[in-house]
Amino acid sequence: MVSAASALLLARFQFAFTVGVHIVFPAFSIGLAAYLAVLEGLWLRTDKQVYLDLYRYWIKIFSVVFGMGVVSGLVMSYEFGTNWSVFSRKAGPITGVLLSYEVMTAFFLEAGFLGVMLFGMNKVGRGLHFAATCCVSVGTLISMTWILASNSWMQTPAGYSIDPATGRFMPEDWLAIVFNPSFPYRLVHMGMAAFLSVAFIIGGTAAWHMLRDKRKGLPISQPVKVMFSMAMWMATIVAPLQILAGDAHGLNTLKYQPVKIAALEGDWETESHAPEILFGIPNMKTEHTDYAIKLPFAGSLILTHSLDGKVPGMKDFPADQRPPSPIIFFSFRIMIALGMLMAATGFLSLYMRWRGRLFTSPFLHRLAVVMAPSGFLALLCGWVTTEVGRQPWTVYGLLRTADSVSPIMLPSMALSMTAFVVVYVIVFGSGIAILLRMLGRQPEEGEHDLSEQDAASVLGTRSHPETVLSSPDHGA
């Protein structure tokens, strides 16, 4: 029993590890593909060289990010079969179909136009190339839609029946399955998270170059100014909208997964006029949140939009159906804190823009550099809150995680987990190092196009002194 429990824990950790690495790259691809489409559209409309320069700069980043997203995503497909075969067998008639739709629509769309987008700038007409960029961007959004439809169904299952002979979930109403109760809220929340995360990466990159140029006594280049301005506009507009989207998502979660809300709030007793616990340490054994710092009435106000609204407590649910509160209690608060800081950064940039100091404020630029990874950190914390908060279920309320795992042995799980960690550190550590090196080179006026030689260098098939990562002309 101990061995089986340990193998289950390792299987869960392995999937969490691989998904945690993977989720950053698709989010990066979604936001960056949309940004590239906007840049190329602005270039076509205004004929300003600065937009083309920025497009050519960021498409090189996109090529690496997209490649790492594809590679990291392939692993999870095999994990479903090797580690979670019972889940695949029972939920496959629904989740398998939804994921196959993602392949047949988004993947084929992206694959069909990605080559034109990356290498066709000087080989096809401007309009056709812009259409290819838009198709890739739309493809990333379609991919997100299908994946979230599958995952949302696991959170709030609908439109199914259970075969009494096999225990399999059989589709009855595909519209109800796709547009399950949590899907619209999670789709909007995830989409905004991707856009916001990329905005802060772009803003942080621009701010770093501005600080470096100022330290060297150099003038700030126009491409850097433009991308910083665009990123700060995005932060100013999207961060508050993301907070509102998160509030709506929370109301939906309160309705369909109340125990998750109780666990992330650290509430044990159901009560009206509930306080908001700003800090504490939930204790699953004593069923009490220790060292709690409370804000009176705020819990009811936030969760129900009413001062006397009833907020659920974990004691209303059986102990074996409660998620691990300490984990999601802190992941949720880190996510909220980062969201507030991102909104504050956007509003500060708006104030500096009004004062005419957007490109001269060292404090704003340092803050933007520090906040550069904040979107992805918040995204990961939100993912932890959502997925750990669903426990102990894979399909909420219907199929337990312990009943979803394959009959695996502890030694084999330990070996594969070790191999995953080592390989991921080497492969994706190297990829991130390449990205940082590319981001460390400032976009130039008259930026070079992404040539076939550049792609070969990125893919590691051959090395040339004139390629983007090693050329003196590119500031390596």
Q: Using CB atoms within 10 A of its CB, is residue 357 exposed (0-12), middle (13-18) or buried (19+)?
A: middle
Please indicate, yes or no, if residue 351 is contained in any of the structural domains: yes
Q: What share of the chain is helix, strand, coil (3-state, %, to 5)?
A: 70, 5, 25
Q: What is the mean pLDDT of the chain?
A: 86
Output DSSP code: residue 470. T
Q: Measured between alpha carbons, how far is 203 from 372 in angstroms, rounded to an integer? A: 7
Retrieve residue 382's tokens. Answer: 């939100």
At residue 451 the predicted structure's pLDDT band, cuts being 50, 70 and 90, is: low
Q: What is the pLDDT of residues 199-240, one digit of tens each?
A: 999 999 999 999 998 888 888 888 899 999 999 999 999 999
What's the predicted TM-score (pTM) here? 0.88
Please indicate, yes or no, if residue 20 is contained in any of the structural domains: yes
Domain count, the chain: 1
3-state secondary structure at position 463: coil
- pLDDT over 90, % of the chain: 47
Say how far residue 244 (Cα) sits from the centre of its chain.
Answer: 18
Please indicate, yes or no, if residue 211 is contained in any of the structural domains: yes
* Sequence-ordered list of residues with C-beta below 8 angstroms from that of 428, at least 6 positions apart, any chain: 21, 68, 72
Compute the residue count for the chain.
Answer: 476
The Cα-based distances of 309 to 210, 256, 272, 301, 445 in angstroms read 49, 16, 5, 7, 57
Q: Measured between alpha carbons, how far is 176 from 187 in angstroms, rounded to an integer? A: 15
Give residue 435's domain range: 1-445
Residue 168 scores a pLDDT above 50:
yes
Say how far residue 161 (Cα) sits from the centre of its chain.
Answer: 31
Residue 300 scores a pLDDT above 90:
no
Residue 470 scores a pLDDT above 50:
no
Q: Measured between alpha carbons, how far is 470 from 29 in angstroms, rounded to an integer? A: 24
At residue 475 the predicted structure's pLDDT band, cuts being 50, 70 and 90, is: very low
Q: Let me know the angle formed at the C-alpha of 99 by 93 and 102, rounded to the nearest 5 degrees.
A: 140
At residue 305 the predicted structure's pLDDT band, cuts being 50, 70 and 90, is: confident
> Would you state the pLDDT for residue 3?
60
At residue 15 the predicted structure's pLDDT band, cuts being 50, 70 and 90, is: confident
Kindly give the interhelix angle for 183-216 and 126-155, rounded to the nearest 10 degrees: 130
Retrieve residue 92's tokens. Answer: 């496959």
Q: Measured between alpha carbons, how far is 461 from 431 in angstroms, rounded to an integer? A: 15
> Would you state the pLDDT for residue 209?
92
Q: What is the pLDDT of residues 322-365, one digit of tens each?
A: 999 999 999 999 999 999 999 999 999 999 999 999 999 999 99
Please indicate, yes or no, if residue 469 is contained in any of the structural domains: no
Handedness of CA 172, 178, 184, 187 (dihedral sign): positive
> Would you state the pLDDT for residue 200?
95
Q: Measured between alpha carbons, how far is 360 from 362 in angstroms, rounded to an integer? A: 6
Q: Measured between alpha carbons, how far is 313 from 300 in angstroms, rounded to an integer? A: 12
> Would you state the pLDDT for residue 444?
77
Kindly give the interhelix angle for 108-119 and 126-155, rounded to the nearest 10 degrees: 140
Please indicate, yes or no, if residue 34 is contained in any of the structural domains: yes
Please indicate, yes or no, if residue 474 is contained in any of the structural domains: no
Q: What is the pLDDT of residues 360-419, one digit of tens each?
A: 999 999 999 999 999 999 999 999 999 999 989 999 999 998 888 888 777 878 888 888
What average pLDDT does range 44-69 have in this prediction? 90
Please indicate, yes or no, if residue 155 is contained in any of the structural domains: yes
The residues pairing with 161 across neighbouring beta strands, listed in sequence order, are: 170
Peptide bond into 392 cis (omega under 30): yes
CB 266 within 8 A of CB 282: yes
- CA-only gyration radius of the chain, Å: 24
Q: What is the pLDDT of residues 119-160, one digit of tens each?
A: 888 888 888 999 999 999 999 999 999 999 999 999 999 999
Please indicate, yes or no, if residue 465 is contained in any of the structural domains: no
3-state secondary structure at position 445: coil
* Sequence-ordered list of residues with C-beta below 8 angstroms from that of 136, at least 6 positions apart, any chain: 33, 109, 110, 113, 114, 117
CB 72 within 8 A of CB 428: yes
Nearest CA among 403, 386, 401, 402 for reference residue 260? 386
Residue 80's Cβ-side half-sphere holds a number of Cα atoms within 13 Å equal to: 15
> Would you state the pLDDT for residue 476?
27
